[in-house]
Amino acid sequence: MTISRRKPLIGLAAAAGLLAVSAAAAGTAASPLPAAVQRLLDCRTLGPDAARLACYDQAVGELGRLLAAGDIVAVERAQVTTVKRQAFGLSLPSLSLFERGDKPAELVEIEGVAVRAWRQLDRHWAVELEDGAVWAQTDDEPINRLPHAGSKVEIKKAALGSFFMKIDGQRALRARRVK
């Protein structure tokens, strides 16, 4: 095999090594990479070209089978960002399985547009954003300009797991995510 035909294999190996996340390894911190990905990366250390190529062929075949079976899932950084944004404000055990390589800045604020807003039975406001997230006011602060469909909503992390919600640039209200 020529060098130009091996480069895609090496690129695949590097991409798989960086992007693969194993469902089995998600709960453990003992191994940073799934075994199949580590075997693929270990092929780089073999000296003779024929042995290295045979190793890559076997490891890529195994990785392909695991990907097709769903035992290993490849995730792009953009997908990780989307999931973290969708989970913003929810109490989840951990999204640490998405934190490989360069750690992106922690998500501390989101912005969105309200698709609807309503007063709840407790007289606090609730706002549903475009992505389906629903945030509800938890304090008794009055709102001067009532929220409505199309209102710009900003939500920021506050101390001790709480959140502030600004609606159309008004004074921040304490809020929690309810959906």
**Average pLDDT of 111-138?**
91
Q: What integer pLDDT is reported at residue 100 of this predicted model?
A: 55
Q: What integer pLDDT is reported at residue 116 of this predicted model?
A: 93
Structure tokens at 20: 């693969």
**Average pLDDT of 12-28?**
39
d(C-alpha 116, C-alpha 130), whole Å: 9
More reliable by pLDDT, 151 or 27: 151
10, 42, 46, 64, 168 from 3: Cα distances, Å: 10, 19, 16, 22, 58
- Is the pLDDT at 28 greater than 50? The verdict is no
In this prediction, residue 34 has a pLDDT band, given cuts at 50, 70 and 90, of confident
CA quadruple 136, 140, 142, 146: dihedral, nearest 10 = 20
Task: Judge residue 59's burial from the number of C-beta atoms within 10 Å of its C-beta, 0-12 exposed, 13-18 middle, 19 or more buried.
Answer: buried
d(C-alpha 130, C-alpha 118), whole Å: 15
**Average pLDDT of 100-106?**
58
The model's pLDDT over 40-96, given as tens digits with 9 standing for 90+, comes to 889 888 888 888 899 989 988 988 888 888 888 777 777 777 776 666 666 655 555
**Average pLDDT of 134-149?**
89
In this prediction, residue 20 has a pLDDT band, given cuts at 50, 70 and 90, of very low
Q: What integer pLDDT is reported at residue 152 of this predicted model?
A: 94
- Is the pLDDT at 156 greater than 70? The verdict is yes
> What mean pLDDT is reported for the chain?
75
Contact 37, 17 (CB under 8 A): yes
- Is the pLDDT at 27 greater than 90? The verdict is no
